[in-house]
Structure 1
């Protein structure tokens, strides 16, 4: 039987072991460390025989603390080629690709979505977005030797912020193929390398060679500062913005996926009120965007200017003769179908209908109030009548288009 002193010594010994193990288990891998491991395991040879199956601990040791995995892996491969000692190569390369390219500068930056689409926002640590020369407005000229610090999706009325003044943002509208077409950038709103202050966006070159003169003294990468062999940014056609929004104003996205507006006029000190802004600015930015062809000579149009999906239902009556002098009005129901922000749908109305008011309803999908509009149109109307929906899912509204 163990006496108390033995138990005490065992407890201390166990505590020491746990203190050595638990901190390691508690340290979660960074996205760049995970990406490095995936690029190494089964792909990079750890000896001159070409063996690519790694012991898991060895692969993770190689990638520990990495910021620029391409540089770390290249260093290791050069070591194997030189001396064929994987342990020495891991040790020699432990600091390569682990240095911060540029120190983080504290400061808030925010991107606000008041457009009729969802945004994917990726924030990159300073220096991990690299301009490779050429047309600074061509996003295919940018690459990265690393992975985003954070990625998030923001819908209508939502914000994505970061706590660093010199992180760069890559913003995508998924499924769209812009190539910088269909995007209106407000005067005074800079994009790309033109926003590369505080070293947020690096530029391949030395002393400004191949880099815009405006940033030659700010974010030019001197020899060896970054890996010139970066990975091209994926889905470049979906990119609507690359740059540094700045620590003064929000970077606002507005309009529709076919007519994107980008501006930075609203101060970060202002609290955003989406319900108020949507009624005033979201609807106004898309009110002239109409699809669905040309309305007929007697038609009712539904234009969705809202931050939600909606449907218009039209009910008119036609007379049906059942014989023996029995004529009864029978309702005919037509629907626009569920349409999203920026779309219009026309419903044609026959001339020969019952002389009874035509009912028009607009119903929101997922809104706090399902029926947004209930109106009537005279049976003998001519031309086109138009109704619109606007507002938010929390405050859905409707009215005549004019």
Structure 2
């Protein structure tokens, strides 16, 4: 389980360090930085997939994603007696992302490229990467370290350092190029864990959504990001998953209704008073979205971490309490981060003993976190 998330220099997240628990609820007003925090987590996952630079390019490149304010705010700037202005920098321009758990931690530092003749001279460069054991980076617990093009890995047997890669390109991560079972096992384990993180923010329920059409079904223990294979995913839960919790979640939300999967892997819902079940193409957007969330959260192959961005979209307020109960149940099997501004959902989740509420607010363009005492965190130096 991730116990600490750190972001520096990314959009409105000038310097943010969060403590995380089993079930985490991130909330705040529009523009407070919720989406930026979600994107930061997605970007960390993209590092393990080898596409961090490409993901930044989609967002407009490093120049568009960097913190746009001054490196620091003076007391006069914060009090309003002096206008906000740039100051002499004490450190390099950088975008830093990191996380830690009880066993491993990882941090990456992306910066401006060295001027060159290539037409890709605006691509950000990976300046530093570090993997360590334990929750806090120190001098003695580093197991893999990247500085520029050089990657060093510490032997788990002898504790000695070995050069693993001498000319790693600035756009490649050591997570994808230096991880193997014999040398760099910690990198391999951490990479696979990061690759398994699951994100849901684009579950489609529109009239042309794939979830509304018949499908060719195969065993599907993990729902697709757009929900296109919902029929196969629900049938998989029925056959090898927690079907009792699935049935309870549907009956709880829809007054005793039940679902099944037709011959062409269409979801069907049987409701009281109707002579035939309704197929997916007949369901409302909110009903279909709840079924998609149930299929995602009750996956027979739960990840270590699942992140949901505004799951309440399209849901009637009557469905928020059942959704909260479903999220709480799912958090027994995996760590969950929910990004939401639905006060009813936030309140229902906050009541749970294992939940961690993280409220964000914006001050002078900067995202401020409600947690009074953030966890201990050390960034690796360049």
The one of the two structures with greater contact order (alpha-carbon pairs below 8 A, sep at least 6) is 2
Q: TM-score, normalised by structure 2?
A: 0.24
Q: TM-score, normalised by structure 1?
A: 0.23
Structure whose residues are more often helix by fraction: 2
